[in-house]
Structure 1
Amino acid sequence: MGRIDVFVAPRPNPALIGAMTIVNRIVMLRGVPGLRDLMPFNRLAGLRGVANVRHIDFPAADQQRLKACCGGGQATFITPNHPEFFTDWMIDKEIVSRVSPLAASWATHGVVNGLGRLMQKFWLANNLIAQIPGNNDAAKAHSVDWALKGHGVLLHPEGAVGWHSNYIGPLLPGAVEMGLEALQRGRETNKDFKAWVAPIVWKLAFTGNVERALAKECVYVEKTLTIEGAANGSLPERIYRIHSTLLSRDEQACGLTVEEGVPYAVRRQRVLAELGRELAATIAAEPGLDMAELLRGARRWLRDGKADADEQKRVRKLAETIQRIQRIGPWAFAAATITQEEIAEHLKRVRNDYCKGALRDTINRFVPQPAGPRRAHISVPEPLGLHAYDGSVDEALAMLRSRMQDAVTRIATELEAAGGFISYPNPFYHR
């Protein structure tokens, strides 16, 4: 295997972690006061704040709730939601710096191992755990060992970034499974040992009207993807036309007729059904599998490597297309209005999935730039004490997801009531 696929245990350097906390707070999040709003300095991401998160609303009671779960005599797995790339680690780092400064954080192997030996050494010193696709046993074992020392371990239970901050996606079982293993091992020497899964949610809201910046980014996407006529109409209508045009290309590739006036959600489901049938036939899957099971079957089929290269390429492309189309889910059709924050998420998702090749697009994929200054609203739902829990892993995941969704909905509702959002009619809305 190449270096990118080999797990190397982190070697945390407390002095470096402390220094990077300050760098993160100023350079990555808040920017330099006095310069971040002045031309031309506000055009420089490092002075403006790369993620442009000017304010962090993290109530003391929530901080204390999380801090109480961390420390000696207990193992804690911290599970934030995952609405945005790059900003995720910056906010997560700010959170753990306040409650468990030496917490370890999971990150994709492409970041930890894929940027050269010097950067790998830097990330390992910052206590990042490389997630190796299909081979996470070493990462999990290290995480349990580290948690047993009283330091938190942070990982995103939703998996990949979803770009949907108002909706918590299905959760993966890793944090609960590692928590149960840590509890079992901790109880071998301490009958009072505790293990926690501590969820966190955060929601970003623009501090002002950013329609002009969003429209500028929309123009770039329209030109890059050759979507004609999209500039005519309101900003939400242009976003809808972008998505509709991209979906029509998938419909044509599947041999489906593109019908005018049919709701996006209906068209999307029809394309997914057709792609699912083709994928199931190719890998000879059992009939009646839902899409999640079918995709898991495709991954197993690819790992087995029994087919020729062309057939593997076809299966990989089908699976990737299904996942790409699924990334705009039912949450997009649920509300009659759409906010500027949700429009920004649509744009970032499209740029990540479709705009590729140019250096500008590559940079945006790793360090997406927001349309304007933002405030982060952070909440810590009730942690799940595994030491006082006797249900199944699936039941634990359902409970955690419910608590996280309730917290996100509460934040959004309170912001809406306070006039914190600029909203428009939602063209995706489908009863």
Structure 2
Amino acid sequence: MSRIDVFVAPRPNPALINIMTSVNRIVMLRGVPGLRDILPFNRLAGLRGVANIRHIDFPDADLQRLRASCGTGKATFITPNHPEFFTDWMIDKEIVSQVSPLTASWATNGVVNGLGRLMQKFWLANNLIAQIPGNSAAAREHSVAWAVKGHGVLLHPEGGVGWHGNVVAPLLPGAVEMGLEALRQGRAADPNFKVWIAPVVWKLAFTGNVERALAKECAYVERNLKIERNPTDTLPQRIHQIYSMLLARDEAAWAMPSDESAPYAERQQVLLLALGRRLGEAISFDAADAPIAELLRRSRRWQRENAGDVERQKRVRALADTIQRLQRVGSWASANPSITQEEIAEHLKRIRNDYCRSGLRDTMNRFIPQPVGPRCAHIRVPDPLGLHAYAGSVEDAVAELHRRMQETVTGTVVEVEAGRGFIFHPNPFYHR
């Protein structure tokens, strides 16, 4: 196997972790006071703060709630939402530094193992656990053992980044499953051993009007993707036009009719259903009533088990990649008549990640996406779920975890909105 697909247990170095906590706080998040607002220093990511998180709103009651779930005699699985790439680990690291500094964090194998031996050693010393697609048994076993020792384990139950800060995507069951195994092992030695699934959510909000900077980024995307701009369109309409044109290209690529007068969501759904049927036929699976997530999971398994069928592999991979990319714009995009600056920024980052492939600038954006302006991170902690006192199924526990996370995200959005923290525009995706 390639080294990228081989699990190596983390070797946490407390001294390095403490140093990186300070580096993260200044260089990655907040920036250098006195320089971060002065030209030309505010254009240098390391001085401005790479993630440009100017303020962190983390109420003490929420911090204490999370702290109470961590410590000796407990196994704690910390499950943050996953609205943004790169910023995710920076905020997560700041959170765990205050509650359980030796928390182990799950990360993609492409980051932990895929950047060379020196970087692998660095990430393992920072206590990162490499997630190996299709082969997570070793990572799970290590996570359970580490959690039983009284250290936290952090993983994103949504899986990949969706770039939708107001909505928690369907959750994966991994944290709950590992929690139940930790409970079994912990209770073997201590009848009072406890296991907590500790959800955390954060919502990012710009600290001012960033429309000019968003328009500049939108112009870059239009040029990159060769999409002509209508001079009279508002910024949200330009975003809608980009997505409409990209959808038309996918329709043409798969020989599907295109009705550009229909709402975007309707066209997207028609194409997704057609591609889903084709993918199901390609892997001999009845996709008629299967959720997209299950269809994609089956396709990944088929690809692993049929590596020798080259031509069919290409078709299955192309279908699965297109479906996965299309469904990332969910029903939430058209649910509300208005759209915020933050949602516009999320659309742009999603488009750049999924479609822009023209060179180093786009590659860097996928690994370290740069916000267009300073932001505040509003961090909240829903009530943790105690598996030691929970009698429901894994599915019930996952559903309850999702409910708590979504309710807290929604409540945080309402709270920020009440403080006039958002700037709104008419939403061109909205359809009654």
TM-score, normalised by the number of residues in structure 1: 0.99
Does the 8 A contact of 2:203 with 2:409 survive in 1?
Answer: yes
Which moved further from structure 2: 174-183 or 226-235? 226-235
Structure 1 residue 288 displacement after superposition: 2.8
Structure 1 residue 307 displacement after superposition: 5.7
Does the 8 A contact of 2:276 with 2:287 survive in 1?
Answer: no
Match of 2:9, SS state, is coil
Count residues in correspondence. 431
Match of 2:96, SS state, is helix
Task: Render the CA deviation track for 1:342-366: whole Å, top value 9, x for unaligned.
Answer: 0000000000000013100000000
- Distance, in Å, in 1 between the alignment partners of 2:364 and 2:209 is 25
| Counterpart position of 1:373 | 374
Does the 8 A contact of 2:277 with 2:287 survive in 1?
Answer: no
| Counterpart position of 1:270 | 270
- Distance, in Å, in 1 between the alignment partners of 2:306 and 2:258 is 36
Match of 1:145, SS state, is helix
| Counterpart position of 2:335 | 334
Identity of aligned residues (%): 71
- Distance, in Å, in 1 between the alignment partners of 2:384 and 2:236 is 37
Structure 1 residue 160 displacement after superposition: 0.2
| Counterpart position of 1:225 | 225
Task: Render the CA deviation track for 1:159-190: whole Å, top value 9, x for unaligned.
Answer: 00000000000000100000000000000010
Unaligned runs of 5+ in 2: none
Match of 2:197, SS state, is strand
| Counterpart position of 2:310 | 309
Does the 8 A contact of 2:280 with 2:295 survive in 1?
Answer: yes
Structure 1 segments of 4+ aligned residues over 6 angstroms from their partners:
none
Unaligned runs of 5+ in 1: none
Match of 1:427, SS state, is coil
TM-score, normalised by the number of residues in structure 2: 0.98
| Counterpart position of 1:105 | 105
Task: Summarize the alignment of residues 28-427 of structure 1 with structure 2, pairs less than 5 Å apart.
Answer: 28-286=28-286, 288-290=288-290, 291-305=292-306, 308-427=309-428
- Distance, in Å, in 2 between the alignment partners of 1:63 and 1:229 is 46
Shift in CA distance, 287/11, structure 1 to aligned 2, threshold 3 Å: closer
Shift in CA distance, 178/251, structure 1 to aligned 2, threshold 3 Å: same
- Distance, in Å, in 2 between the alignment partners of 1:284 and 1:4 is 30
Write the letter of the residue equivalent to 2:412.
I
Structure 1 residue 260 displacement after superposition: 3.0
Write the letter of the residue equivalent to 1:407.
T
- Distance, in Å, in 1 between the alignment partners of 2:191 and 2:280 is 49
Write the letter of the residue equivalent to 1:174.
G
Match of 1:123, SS state, is helix
Match of 1:375, SS state, is strand
Structure 1 residue 259 displacement after superposition: 1.6
- Distance, in Å, in 2 between the alignment partners of 1:224 and 1:206 is 25
- Distance, in Å, in 1 between the alignment partners of 2:127 and 2:183 is 22
Does the 8 A contact of 1:51 with 1:369 survive in 2?
Answer: yes
Does the 8 A contact of 1:230 with 1:242 survive in 2?
Answer: no
Does the 8 A contact of 1:55 with 1:376 survive in 2?
Answer: yes
The alignment's C-alpha RMSD in Å is 1.0
Match of 1:356, SS state, is coil
Does the 8 A contact of 2:196 with 2:387 survive in 1?
Answer: yes
Task: Render the CA deviation track for 1:33-88: whole Å, top value 9, x for unaligned.
Answer: 00000000001000000000010000101011000110000000000000000000
